[in-house]
Amino acid sequence: CSYQFGISNCKERHTVLMVDDKEKNMKCLTFFLMLPETVKNRSKKSLKKANNSSSSSSSSSSSSKLPPVCYEIITLKTKKKKKMAADIFPRKKPANSSSTTVQQYHQQNLSNNNLIPAPNWQGLYPTIRERNAVMFNNDLMADVHFVVGPPGGTQRLPGHKYVLAVGSSVFHAMFYGELAEDKDEIRIPDVEPAAFLAMLKYIYCDEIDLAADTVLATLYAAKKYIVPHLARACVNFLETSLSAKNACVLLSQSCLFEEPDLTQRCWEVIDAQAELALKSEGFCDIDFQTLESILRRETLNAKEIVVFEAALNWAEVECQRQDLASSIENKRKVLGKALYLIRIPTMALDDFANGAAQSGVLTLNETNDIFLWYTAAKKPELQFVSKARKGLVPQRCHRFQSCAYRSNQWRYRGRCDSIQFAVDKRVFIAGFGLYGSSCGSAEYSAKIELKRQGVVLGQNLSKYFSDGSSNTFPVWFEYPVQIEPDTFYTASVILDGNELSYFGQEGMTEVQCGKVTVQFQCSSDSTNGTGVQGGQIPELIFYA
């Protein structure tokens, strides 16, 4: 390119040619300053000589590109920072006002509503990643099509064999392997269209776009076509969103996909929050093998009557899946031998008499034998497991090194004692340990609460009786509360009691409890004096 440039020591204006120095990676620009008159005279002589000469076309071409007789080289140095392709070649906008971006291509391609790209669209995107992303779900240059989804819910999606083969060894074998079939259309009835699109988006765009309602289907697609990094991202997403509501379903799927880490995480949630997990809608969606594994679980932290009711709910849904009437006989039929994995003899007598005995699922002989098991000295033999589950042993994190009492402390007048804490591993808070009366036995009413960023995660109102000692007394939540690592939670209690109580002192900011590290800090919700150094809430009771 050329433009007019003013020279300070010359009254004339000279043409300046800008030449980039590619050998120095664009670190400098070189300017050739040519004297106009000299170039003009030299050019006339050269042109005249060229017309009279009968030289070859190559020599003629070289003579037309004459170097200047007199020139001066000026080098302008730029910053030494290396530039990326996107910086060297900034994205150009089309002539029209509506510039097409990669994100817009993504949005339109998700619905397979492909527009004809603008002329020279390749020049709009500086990187191969962006240009490749334009091809995502795009019919342009597509050499294969997929009909994805079950009959009645299919979607036809375009693909490019080379791109797909680079992203998946299965696609490579399908298109370029020894047994490759030259088909223009491939049917995939076992994968959901949304999940297949999510996989294609990863292959084409190097982007992972997961949603809670499609992540399992996406994991299936990633496993089927051997896209390991996408599969790992799906597992991480599931572990992050794991809760009692979906733990049973994810347990079933993790076994199917052979993901042992995810399976272990599911068991941790199911064991600690067993009653919530068994009462969830997802429990009724599990397969029979997963049902048996849960009913066998020794560490299941739930009352046996809850396990029994959950099994009946599953049986009712299973009857519907098998197109059977939801009768007592059919419920027992679909449960089969899994019924005997329920430890009915370990129920409280009231739970058995008012629940299982009147459900109709048990035969008359089974009901009589279990009643005799409760009452008779000589107990009959039962097909049911008669040994209670071990459940989980709660851990206690004590944050004070000593406790004390004074004649005017610690009083309770409806004010809040509060402390903030964070853990480095996922745990499940089951309750708090609290101090009791320092003036003999007394009863307290306690409202305990657990919050995260102002949102209440769990609360309970109960009473506890203290015997006048300096021991701590547990107060439990209705269900254990799941606590994620590296986030501060607020533990609060409002006590109502006439007697003064013990209080903690010499508090620690960090406590190691087994494999879990707990950090404490003061809470702005505390209005009764509790803090890191002293006060109430001496213990956190949790499962890990």
Model confidence over 287-297: pLDDT tens digits? 999 999 999 99
- Average pLDDT in the 126-154 region? 90
Give yes or no: residues 359 and 436 share one domain. Answer: no
Give yes or no: residues 235 and 290 share one domain. Answer: no
SS3 263: helix
Distance from C-alpha of 209 to C-alpha of 199, rounded to nearest angstrom: 9
pLDDT for 468: 86
For residues 519 and 528, is the Cβ–Cβ distance under 8 A? no
Residue for token pair 């993504």: 106
- Six token digits for residue 451: 């919050």
pLDDT for 114: 55
Domain that holds residue 209: 121-241
Q: What is the mean pLDDT of the chain?
A: 82
Distance from C-alpha of 212 to C-alpha of 195, rounded to nearest angstrom: 11
Query: Does some domain include residue 62?
Result: no
Give yes or no: residues 225 and 275 share one domain. Answer: no
Domain termination residue (choose one: 375, 403, 425): 375
Query: Which domain CATH number covers 476?
Result: 2.60.120.820
Among residues of the chain, what percentage have pLDDT more than 90? 61
Angle at 87 between CA 84 and CA 88, to 5 degrees: 90
With a cut of 80, say whether residue 85 has pLDDT above it: no
Of the two residues 389 and 20, the one the predictor is more confident about is: 389
With a cut of 70, say whether residue 284 has pLDDT above it: yes
Domain termination residue (choose one: 192, 225, 241): 241
Of the two residues 436 and 76, the one the predictor is more confident about is: 436
Query: Does some domain include residue 463?
Result: yes
Confidence grade of residue 109 (pLDDT, cut at 50, 70, 90): low
Query: Does some domain include residue 138?
Result: yes
- Average pLDDT in the 236-262 region? 91
Angle at 105 between CA 102 and CA 106, to 5 degrees: 90
User: pLDDT by residue (tens digit) across 13-59?
Assistant: 444 444 444 443 333 343 444 444 444 444 444 444 444 444 444 44
SS3 454: coil
With a cut of 70, say whether residue 10 has pLDDT above it: no
Confidence grade of residue 178 (pLDDT, cut at 50, 70, 90): confident
Give yes or no: residues 412 and 516 share one domain. Answer: yes
pTM for this prediction: 0.72
pLDDT for 270: 96
Distance from C-alpha of 205 to C-alpha of 109, rounded to nearest angstrom: 12
pLDDT for 499: 74
Confidence grade of residue 71 (pLDDT, cut at 50, 70, 90): very low
Confidence grade of residue 64 (pLDDT, cut at 50, 70, 90): very low
Query: Does some domain include residue 262?
Result: no
